[in-house]
Amino acid sequence: MNISHDLGVWIAALMTLFILSFLYKDNPLYKLAEHLFVGISAGYYIVLNFWTVVMPNLVDPLVRSFTGRDPVTHAVVQQVGGPFQGTIGDYRGWLLIPALLGALLFTRMISKIEWVSRWSLAMIIGVYAGLKTTGFAQGDLVAQAQGSLRPLWTGELWSSVNAIVFTIGLVTSLLYFFYSREHKGALGVAARTGIVFLMVSFGAGYGYTVMSRLSLLIGRFQFLIEDWLGIR
Amino acid sequence: MNLAALEKLDRRWLFLIVGLLVLGPLLKPLGLPLGTSKPVKMFHDAVAGIPDGAIVLMSCDYDPGAKPEVVPMTRTAFRQLMEKRCRVVITCLWPGGSSLVDQTIESVANEMRAEGHDLVYGRDYVDLGYKAGYEAVMVLMGKGIANAFPQDQRANSTASLPLMRNVRDYSSFAMLVNISSGYPGTKEWVQQVNSRFHLPMVSGCTAVSAPEYYPYLQSGQLKGLLGGMAGAAEYEKLRGEKGAATKGMDAQSLAHAFIALCIIAGNVLQWRKRGARS
Amino acid sequence: MKRELPLLMTAVIGIFMILSFFVPHHLVGVPADYLQQCAVIVVAFGYVLGGANALRVNLEGIARRQPDWPYKLVLVVSLIATVVIGLADGRRWQEPGTASMFLYDRLYSPMQGTMFSLLAFFIASAAFRAFRIRTVEAGLLAAAALIVMLGRVPVGDALTSWLPESIRMSAFQEWIMNIPQNAAKRAILMGAAMGVMATGLRVILGIERSYLGGGD
């Protein structure tokens, strides 16, 4: 055993044990770690978005376009055209609009004027509704339908059986979600067959979820054993 | 132990058993043999098929919550790319992950430098860091990578980096290697980048997400898939490495066997109780 | 102004984003690119708003001496300290050795990992106490779960090593993942895609207005 002498490793190990103590029962050490984690996370997200988005994508281009100088080195920046003569990827003064929309988001904290934040939300919702509609249509609908159009007879018995089973599974699972008609008769038989495939897929998903959760525990134990206690 | 006692078993006993079953093999490995599955082989072969020296985009969209599953994949994939003398541009779309990704990449780079590889940050690999915006960032990069990332993870101007002078948009990349643990991740890259810009891609993901991506693998939208710690371990085996994922598989095996036993035992108890009642 | 302008904005911007997928002309492409850049910036402000809101809610809790208010004080102090340290570290705040990276490596990262690792214990407990097979469908689910759980790890093949390789647990698991599971997941994927497209169009056309919230 070669216990670590690094203060940081000890702090990490203690926090890990504080959180794991919840398994015995809820206790002050767990509550302390939990609140500390939430506070640090929230603070980290603020700092991260400030230094990685607000500064380089908003403030720096605005400073460059209005002062003609690089905000970090203060060197003169060669710019063709004025602050509102942007091109693709170089929007200069036009970035005042997202700056304003971003600032208006904070009106959500003041109930009398929180309706103003709807403008910022409308912009975000419009962008993402558009992106998701086309993304899902192309990536999940068209491409998947295209991928399903495979020959049922492949030349080999086993792979042909698989192709037929796959197609039956796909069609019957899709029909299960068709709620415009009551699941009776042929549609009922198809829907009940679809349920079989859906249950198998949920079971497979459960199996993989178990694997995922256990992996996270293995990772923490590896840290405690190797980095903290220096056992292996 | 009678049925009633088992039924009322305090769950903390189960927690203890799980803890011991995970701890045991980590302290004393069992050496259970590991296979290799087809999706993992496809991932490995797709990366191996990238022309040597090509520029590759590696988007590591995860945070420390999924570290044991995705960090081994990141390490092995990055090493494979570096050994092929590929030049790698790394991005991260998860707010909590950019520092972890940078540390992981730099750790592999340092190991390879110690082995004698000549790797220079800015020339051979660049970490552009985190950007907020989910799918909007992905599509924004389509018109120019530097438009979305004016500076890198280390606050250097992107334009000043030698590698980035050869990178314009997605057409500059031979492949996208995406390691992800949720949203935004593989699904969004398939929908927004693979579908729109036709950039070939492979994915490494957490086991929770993996079943959802099998349809993309079958349709050819993904050229390979690593699912969870098992996928990471198999990939390490194919690469001849023995990383953290491989070391964790014995513990994974025992714990899975125990969970399976719990499901069976819980139901046997239930049926016996119902039988006793009737 | 309070509802009509946001609805109009959503409609115009949404239609523009859809158009940009089909029309490569710069008259569509440049404004679409600009809107995406705007979205990136506004989303970043959203994260800052989230942190600020957490601060406000917990400060109120401390002022009202709600139960567990000392813990809320810990939260507030750690939040403010992280922000101050991060801002003080400057643009290179993520370089190794900074105080921000100490907080990240020794507090944030291990605590987040441990929070998620608790799920492993609860999934074991739920498997014993809550997973009940009462119908044929549930039995199918359980059977598939058991095969996949054991087949995906070395123990499955170790238990079935006496069988030919093509019918061992891992081969069976791989068949389940590639054929029945894949078929059902594809159906769910396609169905969900149609749902998202419908919802997206409803939002863009102003039929779905829940994102505006209540009030006037």
Is the CB of A8 inside 8 Å of chain B's CB atoms? no
Closest approach of chain C CAs to the CA of B177, in angstroms? 22
- Cα of B132 vs its chain's centroid, Å: 20
Residue % of chain A over a pLDDT of 70: 100
Q: Is C74 helix (H, G, I), strand (E, B) or coil?
A: helix
Residue B98 in tokens: 């950019």
Q: Mean pLDDT over residues A22-35, rounded?
A: 96
Residue C214 confidence (pLDDT) above 80: no
The pLDDT of residue C114 is above 90: yes
**C59 in contact with B, Cβ within 8 Å:** no
Nearest to C4 by CA among A128, A107, A104, A122: A122
Mean pLDDT of B77-94: 98
A 10 A CB-CB count for C11 gives 17
Q: Which residues of A touch C3 (CB under 8 A)?
A: 118
- Helical residues (DSSP H) of chain A, grouped into ranges: 7-20, 28-49, 60-67, 96-104, 117-135, 143-148, 157-176, 185-222
Q: Does B65 touch chain A (CB under 8 A)?
A: yes
In a 10 Å sphere around its CB, with 0-12 CB exposed, 13-18 middle and 19+ buried, how is residue A153 labelled? exposed
User: What is the pLDDT, as a whole number, of residue C216?
Assistant: 62
CB atoms within 10 A of CB B268: 12
The single-letter code of the amino acid at A87 is T
Say if C138 is an interface residue toward chain B (CB within 8 Å).
Answer: no
Which residue in C57, C14, C42, C58 sits closest to C200, CA to CA? C14
CA B69 to chain CA centroid, Å, is 6
Distance, CA of C86 to CA of B28 (rounded, Å): 42
Chain A nearest C-alpha distance from C162 (Å): 23
Banded model confidence at residue C78, pLDDT cuts 50, 70, 90? very high
Q: For tokens 């959500």, what's the residue?
A: A108
| Single pTM value for the model | 0.95
Which residue has tokens 């159906």?
Answer: C187
Report the pLDDT value the prediction gives residue B97, as an integer from 0 to 100.
96
Neighbour subunits, C (≥3 Cβ pairs < 8 A): A, B
Alpha carbons C80 and C61: distance in angstroms, whole number: 16
Q: Average pLDDT in the C69-77 region?
A: 97
On chain C, the residues whose CB falls within 8 A of the CB of A134 are 17-18, 21
Comparing A89 with B41, the larger pLDDT belongs to B41
Q: CA nearest C42: which of B138, B235, A12, A102?
A: A102
| Residues of chain A neighbouring B143 (CB-CB closer than 8 A) | 88-89
Q: What is the pLDDT of residue A82?
A: 86
Rounded CA gap, B224 and B186, in Å? 12
- The rounded Cα A43 to chain-centroid distance in angstroms is 19
Q: Say if residue C181's pLDDT is above 90.
A: yes
pLDDT at C16: 93
pLDDT above 90 as % of chain C: 92
Report chain C's mean pLDDT, rounded to a whole number: 94
Query: Residue B1: pLDDT above 60?
Result: no
pLDDT in tens, B207-253: 999 999 999 999 999 999 999 999 999 999 999 999 999 999 999 99
Q: Are strands B175-180 and B125-130 parallel, antiparallel or unpaired?
A: unpaired
- Per-residue confidence band for B255, with pLDDT thresholds at 50, 70 and 90: very high
pLDDT in tens, A105-125: 999 999 899 999 999 999 999
Q: Give the model's pLDDT for residue A227.
A: 95
Residues of C in contact with B137 (CB under 8 A): 36, 40
> CA–CA distance from A109 to each of A205, B233, C65 (Å)?
40, 48, 21
**Mean pLDDT, residues C4-31 taken together:** 94
Best residue in A84, A97, A173 for a mutation probing chain C (most C CBs within 10 Å) = A173
**Tokens representing B128?**
């552009």
Mean pLDDT, range A201-217, rounded to an integer: 97
Return d(Cα A132, Cα B215) in angstroms, integer: 19
Cβ contacts of A87 on chain C, cutoff 8 Å:
30
φ/ψ (deg, to 5) at B151: -135, 160
**Cα torsion for B192, B61, A95, C92, to the nearest 10°?**
-160
- Bridge partners for A166 per DSSP: none
Residue A228 banded pLDDT, cuts 50, 70, 90: very high
Q: Are A213 and C123 in contact (CB under 8 A)?
A: yes
Q: Answer yes or no: is pLDDT of A88 > 90.
A: no
pLDDT exceeds 90 at position A232: no
Tell me which chain B residues have a C-beta less than 8 angstroms from the C-beta of C157: 33, 35
Which amino acid does the sequence have at B177?
A: V
Write out pLDDT tens, residues A43-61.
Answer: 999 999 999 999 999 999 9
Helix (H) / strand (E) element for C16: namely helix C4-22
Residue to mutate among B208, B249, B250, with most A CBs inside 10 A, is B208
For the stretch B117-159, pLDDT in tens is 999 999 999 999 999 999 999 999 999 999 999 999 999 999 9
Percent of chain B at pLDDT above 90?
94
Measure B24 CA to nearest chain C CA, in Å: 15
Dihedral Cα A155, A159, A162, A164, nearest 10 deg? -10
Tell whether the model's pLDDT for residue A195 goes beyond 80: yes
Determine the pLDDT at residue C189: 96
Closest CA of chain C from B118, distance in Å:
22
Q: Please state the length of chain A.
A: 232
For residues B214 and C187, the answer to whether their CB atoms sit within 8 Å is no
Q: Is B194 helix (H, G, I), strand (E, B) or coil?
A: helix
Distance from CA of C22 to the nearest CA of B (A): 10
User: Per the CB < 8 Å rule, is C145 touching A210?
Assistant: yes
Partner-chain residue, chosen from B143, B252, B260, that has the shortest CB–CB distance to C146: B260
Residue A228 and residue A13 in contact, taking contact as beta carbons nearer than 8 Å:
yes
Contact B77, C126 (CB under 8 A): no
CB B68 within 8 A of CB B255: no
Contacts of A181 (CB under 8 A, 6+ apart): A187
Q: Note whether A26 contacts B: Cβ–Cβ < 8 A.
A: no
Q: What mean pLDDT do residues C53-73 have?
A: 95
Using CA atoms, how far residue A182 sits from A176, A188, A195, C190, in Å, is: 10, 8, 15, 21
The answer for residues whose C-beta is within 8 angstroms of residue B145's C-beta and 6 or more apart is B89, B128, B158, B164, B167, B168, B169, B172
For the cut 60, the answer to whether the pLDDT of residue B162 exceeds it is: yes
Would an 8 Å CB–CB cutoff place C123 in contact with chain B?
Answer: yes
Instruction: Give pLDDT, residue A189.
Output: 96
Asked, as a colleague might, if the bond just before B184 is cis with ω within 30 of 0, I would say yes
pLDDT given at position A196: 97
How many Å apart are CA B30 and CA B53, to the nearest integer?
Answer: 40
Mean predicted confidence (pLDDT) in C164-172: 92
Average pLDDT on C2-9 reads 92
Q: Given pLDDT bands bounded at 50, 70 and 90, which one contains residue A198?
A: very high
Window 11-50 of C: residues touching B by CB (8 A cutoff) are 21, 29, 33, 36-37, 39-40, 43-44, 46-47
Q: Side chain identity at B193, as an amino acid letter?
A: V
Q: Lowest-confidence range among B105-109, B227-231, C26-30, C143-147?
A: C26-30
Average pLDDT, chain B: 95
What residue in A sits closest to C127 (Cα-Cα)?
A210
Model pLDDT, residue B147: 92
* More confident: C210 or B46: B46
| pLDDT at residue C85 greater than cutoff 90 | yes
The distance of Cα A208 from the centroid of its chain, to the nearest Å, equals: 19
**How much is the pLDDT for A81?**
85
Interchain pair C47, A49: CB under 8 A: yes
Cα A81 to Cα A66, A78, A85, A150, distances in angstroms: 11, 10, 6, 55
pLDDT score of A74 more than 60: yes
Mutate which of A7, A54, A92, A198 to disrupt the C interface (most C C-beta within 10 Å)?
A198
CB contact under 8 A, C153 and B256: yes
- Least CB–CB distance from A225: residue in B27, B134, B196: B27
H or E element that contains B241: none
Whether the per-residue pLDDT at B92 is higher than 60: the answer is yes
Amino acid at B123: R
Q: How far apart are CA A2 and CA A55, in angstroms?
A: 44
The pLDDT, as a whole number, for residue B4 is 74
- Give the dihedral of Cα atoms B250, B256, B259, B261; nearest 10 deg: -90
Categorize the per-residue pLDDT at C215 as very low, low, confident or very high, splitting at 50, 70 and 90: low
Name the closest residue on chain C to residue A220, using Cα atoms.
C114
Distance CA(C58)–CA(C180), nearest Å, equals 49
Give residue C84's pLDDT.
98
Question: Coil, helix or strand for A150?
Answer: coil
Which chains lie within 8 Å of chain A at 3 or more CB pairs, if any? B, C
Chain C residues within an 8 Å CB radius of B96: 108, 112
Tokens describing residue B200: 């070939």
**Nearest Cα residue to A21 out of A29, A10, A32:** A29
Amino acid at C124: A
- Among C36, C135, C160, the strongest candidate for a mutation testing the B interface, having the largest count of B CBs within 10 A, is C36
Q: What is the mean pLDDT of residues A72-78?
A: 87
- Other Cβ atoms closer than 10 A to A104: 19
CB contact under 8 A, A207 and C146: yes
- What whole-number distance in Å separates Cα of residue A139 and Cα of residue B212? 13
User: Which residues of chain C are within 8 Å of residue B67 when distances are taken between CB atoms?
Assistant: 109, 113
Q: Where are the domains of chain A?
A: 151-232
